[in-house]
Chains A and B, each alone.
Chain A
Amino acid sequence: MDILYLLIPLTAVLVLGILGVFAWAVHHGQFDDLEQHGAQILETDDTRLDRYQSR
């Protein structure tokens, strides 16, 4: 069970890493409007869905 002495600190580091990723997602508006993008396909106007689409 000596591996636990490595895995537990590793868990802690991994958790902090995941928190960092989530922080980026929240603060870039990924969760601001969860319904809007699902409904967008039904709209008739041809605005680009995101800024990379026209490439």
Chain B
Amino acid sequence: MSSTALDDPLELDEFTRWEKADGGGRVAESSLRIGGMHCAACAGTIEHALRQVHGVLEARVSASAQCATVRWDASLTRASALARAIEQAGYQAAPDTAAAARAMRQAEARTALWRLFVAAFCAMQVMMLATPAYVSAPGELAPDLKRLLDWGGWLLSLPVLCFSAQPFFAGAWRALRLRRIGMDVPVALGIAVAFIASSGAAFDPGGRFGSEVYFDSLTMFISFLLGGRFLEMRARHRAEVSLEDATARLPQTVMRLDADGAVEMVSAKRLRVGDLVRVPVGQAFAADGSLIDGATRADESLLTGESRPVAKGPGDNVVAGSLNLQSPVVMRVERSGGDTRYEAIVALMRAARSQRPEMLASADRWAAPFLWAVLLLAATSAALWSVVDPSRVVWVLVSVLIVTCPCALSLAAPSALLAAAGALGRSGVLLRRLDALQGLATMQVLFVDKTGTLTEGRLRCVEALPLAPMSAAEAGRLQGIAASLAAWSTHPLSTALREAAAPAASSWREVHEEAGQGLEAVDADGARWRLGSAAWTGAPATSGTRSARAWLARDGIVLLGFSFDERLREGAAEAVRALQADGVELRLLSGDGKAQAQAVAAALGLVSAAGDLTPDDKLAAVRAEQQRGRIVAMLGDGINDGPVLARADVSLAMGEGALVARSQADGVLVSNRLGDIVQARALAKRSLRIVRQNFAWAALYNATCVPLALAGWLPPWAAGLGMASSSLVVVMNSLRLAR
């Protein structure tokens, strides 16, 4: 795609989200995929190039995900200018939509395979030509035959040097031009030194470069490095494909129903709130909404990690991106486009992918001094060896340059954190900040909100309280009548009554609902029933029915009272027990009455429960714990939890919760299952353990191999093998988390 086509509004919307700026202008946030990145240092280079563009407010580049998120002012610059800036820095940019990314991935995979094959195949041939020099006794090999073999090795090394090793030279050149240092610099230097010295020895035997050639070591080293990068690239592509599968789930065209019931095919982007859409079996719901007609089962595994299909009937909510599995249905659109839960989740995933956690930033800071130290060491060792044994100077210099591996250090944290975040995402916990993993693993106090977090937002009818003595069967019959009358109302108490008992078969006439008071209707026998508040039914305030909140009356005589209770979320008690066993102190913070908070706390086995709290009180409670030096986590859902979520060291929001809560939290429990937090903590602990293992391995590797190379005990080919495998060990170790 030419870069000016990026400015087309329809094209732009594919990879850009718009926000209102303070001054009335528009601020765009664009996602771009970057091609040609090899190491963590490249990210800084591209960020620098983007920030030079006039009008760019913020640029974040993720080396591990190879994508950039740029916030820019629409009145000052254009998307094509961003792409040009990236291209001038020596990389490729494409909008972050699946098609362009797939093409870029395919081209990258083909080029990488091609480079690897050239290097490996030539290395084998060069090795064959080098064998006689190793196996022959001194003087056995005729000098002119030796020269012919060296010439053959030189010729077959040329494609490796000029083509296969090109990424190393390009990377080193880019780094030098920007006066930075990347891991390609010592590698490229090593390759160049080895090739020049060997060529000198091959064409001028006994000259200033001696008569030893290293073409075999050189080509083998390049193919080991490329092999390592190829495997890394494959793993990265797999991760990208799985993310794209998740994001490319919405259908392109949908069947919209007109007012007269005719079907019209329209783009999913044209859907508006209130539209009726027919969804055939096997298609994904294109927007959030509710079912109008038909009953089916929906696969919501993408959004919630819940693999069982969920039964959906008329009136039930469906989520964009979930699949219709059983029968065709008609839905009414309630939220479309960027407002859907699906889009919010996709935006979260993008944000998490492109931001850089603290641990990674510190690894990047070490990389540059480390590389300078390597260059210094190599120069010192070359100087020393030129005194001790001039014939081995080149050999030692090349080994030292090649064997040191800052990439294992710089991959140690991000590879593990990304793998863990990916695994969590699949099981229904989305992380907005990768740092949240560290907080999850180390949290000491967890504050939980009550309504909507520990309990469902709905009520449950717990008891029917007769006002006059009556048999259980009679009370059950009356409860059925109440349920059937409650079916006429959508009030939360009515919903709870309907769920509590099977509705009796009654035919109601003259049904009338007084908002905030209750229902009134006449049954088949002419009796006038009322269901509702004490004032509406005329219920007396007696001690036996104090907890009741709704009453049923026939012809002015109150018969039954109903008491309600909040319904605990499924698995809440197990999750609380598991977290307490894991050493986390749980505390309930609620804006509701103290009695209700304590009832819920008692049901869950929580020691501490505070009720009647304002958002400021909640904030103060979190701050007090933080001042005692403890790591505080917060789990909430409501608008009033927003500031507290932002204040806590790590915060999680429920997927059903308010948008404010979700945007302030570090992570979202999409599935609304409290048990997920237990699993997330276990995984976070494992990922920190793996990060420590990775750092230990990278440090141990460098501490062992650098002295060996300095002492001249490590030939260049072994150095190449060691460097490639040390990176691979780190990546493989991290990928254990993704399983």
Which residues of A are in contact with B by a Cβ distance under 8 Å? 1, 4-5, 8-9, 11-12, 15-16, 18-19, 22-23, 26-27, 29, 31-32
Contacts and interface: CB of A to CB of B under 8 A. Distances in A.
B113 interface: yes
The 7 closest A-B pairs by CB, nearest first: A26-B114, A8-B152, A15-B125, A12-B155, A26-B110, A22-B117, A8-B148
Contacts of B118: 19
B156 interface: yes
Given A15-B125, A19-B159, A4 B117 contact: no
Contacts of B159: 16, 19
A9 to B, nearest CB: 7
B156 A27 contact: no
Contact of A32 (B110, B114, B148, B149): B110
A26 B155 contact: no
Nearest to B151: A8
B125 A11 contact: yes
A1 to B, nearest CB: 7
Contact of B122 (A15, A27, A32): A15
Given A12-B156, A22-B117, A31-B113, 6 more contacts: A9-B152, A15-B125, A19-B122, A22-B121, A29-B110, A32-B109
A12 B152 contact: yes
Nearest to B148: A8
A31 B111 CA distance: 11
The A contact surface, by secondary structure, is helix
A32 to B, nearest CB: 6
Nearest to A1: B145
Contacts of A1: 145
A11 B110 contact: no
12 contacts: A1-B145, A5-B145, A8-B148, A8-B152, A9-B152, A11-B125, A12-B152, A12-B156, A19-B122, A19-B159, A26-B113, A32-B109
Contacts of A27: 110, 114
B106 interface: yes
Nearest to A31: B113
Interface in B127-154: 128-129, 145, 148-149, 152
Contacts of B152: 8-9, 11-12
B121 A15 contact: yes
Contact of A26 (B117, B121, B122, B149): B117
Contacts of A19: 117-118, 121-122, 159
B106 A32 contact: yes
Contacts of B155: 12
Interface of B: 106, 109-110, 113-114, 117-118, 121-122, 125, 128-129, 145, 148-149, 152, 155-156, 159
Contacts of A23: 114
Contacts of A4: 145, 148
The B contact surface, by secondary structure, is helix
Contacts of A15: 121-122, 125, 156
Nearest to B107: A27
B206 to A, nearest CB: 22
Contact of B149 (A8, A29, A31): A8
Contacts of A18: 121
Contacts of B125: 11-12, 15
B129 A8 contact: yes
Contacts of B145: 1, 4-5
A27 B107 CA distance: 9
A12 B128 CA distance: 12
Nearest to B118: A19
Contacts of A32: 106, 109-110
A42 B155 CA distance: 47
A46 B293 CA distance: 35
Nearest to A26: B114
Contacts of B114: 22-23, 26-27
Contacts of A9: 152
Nearest to B115: A26
Contacts of A8: 129, 148-149, 152
Contacts of B122: 15, 19
B54 to A, nearest CB: 40
Contact of B148 (A5, A16, A22, A29): A5
Contacts of B109: 32
A36 B665 CA distance: 41
Nearest to A4: B145
A31 B148 CA distance: 36
Contacts of B106: 32
B431 to A, nearest CB: 31
A8 B155 CA distance: 11
A10 B722 CA distance: 34
Nearest to A32: B106
A5 B149 CA distance: 9
A47 B156 CA distance: 44
Nearest to B142: A1
Nearest to B152: A8
A17 B335 CA distance: 60
A4 B144 CA distance: 11
A20 to B, nearest CB: 11
Contacts of A29: 110
B20 to A, nearest CB: 44
Nearest to B122: A15
A1 B148 CA distance: 13
Nearest to B109: A32
Contacts of A5: 145, 148
A29 B148 CA distance: 37
Nearest to A22: B117
Nearest to B117: A22
Contacts of B148: 4-5, 8
Nearest to B124: A15
A13 B291 CA distance: 70
Nearest to A9: B152
Contacts of A31: 110, 113
A50 to B, nearest CB: 19
A5 B152 CA distance: 11
